[in-house]
Structure 1
Amino acid sequence: MSDTSAPALPVTFRPARTRVVLLTSGVAMFVVISAVGLMLDSLSPGERMSFVFVAALFAGVLVMLSRPKVVADDDGVTVVNITRVRRLAWAEILRVNLRPGDPWVFLDLSDGTSLPVLGIQPGIAKGRAIEDARALRALADSRGTGREGA
């Protein structure tokens, strides 16, 4: 595997393959559902527009699911999950965890809570997620009050 040296900042971690699959699926679904709605001669204009609206709604959900990322810079980390963005100073991150079976990375925070980081997930690209988790752990250890992660 790769070494645990911290990458140069700023750096963005995101599940690229998952994002490609979601965005491609969203575009394909939008095109197919809209085309079907527009090609059906028996539908009124309002019904046709409802097909396009539903297609846009489905595509919008997939775009939201493709949103997660983690941006690390000199001042801290910005965690962008599906509907929420949270900015953390390096000192707030005690540990970066990606245990076997975890769906994504978790950050143990100084306030005693744990924050899921959907921007690093081993679903489709397990090796890449492990490398990203190690890089984020190295950054947290070198820049904050973090301890060695498990």
Structure 2
Amino acid sequence: MSQENVSPPELPVVWRPRKGRVVAYGFAGLIIVGAVVLAILLPPPFTVVDKVAMVVLGAAVAGVLHLLGRCRVEADETGVTLVNALRVHRYEWPEVLAVTLTDSEPWAKIDFTDGATIGAMGLQGSEKERTVQQVRQLAALIRERGEARDEGGNGGRAGDDD
């Protein structure tokens, strides 16, 4: 199926990886439970401070896993939001040029008019066909609403009739 055969999805839409979320939040829960159980079962040479530190360490590791689990790409009427592990990027549709996904990359990349190319961690290459379909949907939205929609050279903005 070519990209042109995919119609844009209804907005708003959120794309996020399934496997990455399950693994991240599954391990986060396991680590929290393990830290609490370990803190409860620590023998007497360990103090309350040690036990609290064990739970805090588990919570810190779970927090890092949350950063990985929250990754997503959101599209709405006005633009696209990339929520990656450490940063959130917001771009309006006319600023978006293209989305690409190659076999050698862990996630899709999105090109913008300011010259930036940002990895979209919410579109994980490890999910193969699911991500390919999501990238095709995003590409259809970019063709419909973004800079790339106009091949005539008017900057991709609707209504520019110069």
TM-score (norm 2): 0.85
SS state at 1:106 partner: strand
Larger RCO, structure (CA 8 Å, separation 6 or more) = 1
| 77, 99, 120: which one aligns with 1:96 | 99
Provide Cα deviations, 1:8-55, integer angstroms capped at 9, x if missing partner.
110000002210111011101111122112211221111111111111
TM-superposed CA distance for 1:134, in Å, is 0.6
Amino acid at match of 2:102: R
Name which of 142, 147, 155 aligns with 1:140.
142
Question: Take 1:54 and 1:133, find their aligned partners in 2: how far apart are those partners?
Answer: 37
Q: Which residue of 2 aligns with 1:44?
A: 47
- Deviation sequence 1:79-111 (CA, Å, 0-9, x none): 111111111011111111112211111111111
Taking only aligned residues, the RMSD between alpha carbons, in angstroms, comes to 1.6
Which residue of structure 2 lines up, in the alignment, with residue 108 of structure 1?
111
Question: Larger radius of gyration, structure 1 or 2?
Answer: 2
Equivalences for residues 16-27 of structure 1 within 5 A: 16-27=18-29
SS in 2 for 1:140: helix
Matched residues, number: 147
1:1-80 aligned within 5 A: 1=1, 3-42=5-44, 43-80=46-83
What is the percentage of aligned positions where both structures have the same residue? Answer: 37
* Aligned equivalents of 2:43, 2:102: Cα separation in 1: 54
In 1, Cα distance between equivalents of 2:57 and 2:116:
38
AA in 1 matched with 2:134 = D
TM-score norm. by structure 1 comes to 0.92
Whole-angstrom distance in 2 between the partners of 1:34 and 1:55:
8
29-38 vs 50-59, which moves further? 29-38
Which ranges of 4 or more aligned residues in structure 1 deviate by more than 4 Å? Answer: none
Unaligned runs of 5+ in 1: none
Quick check: 2:70–2:84 contact (8 Å CA) kept in 1?
A: yes
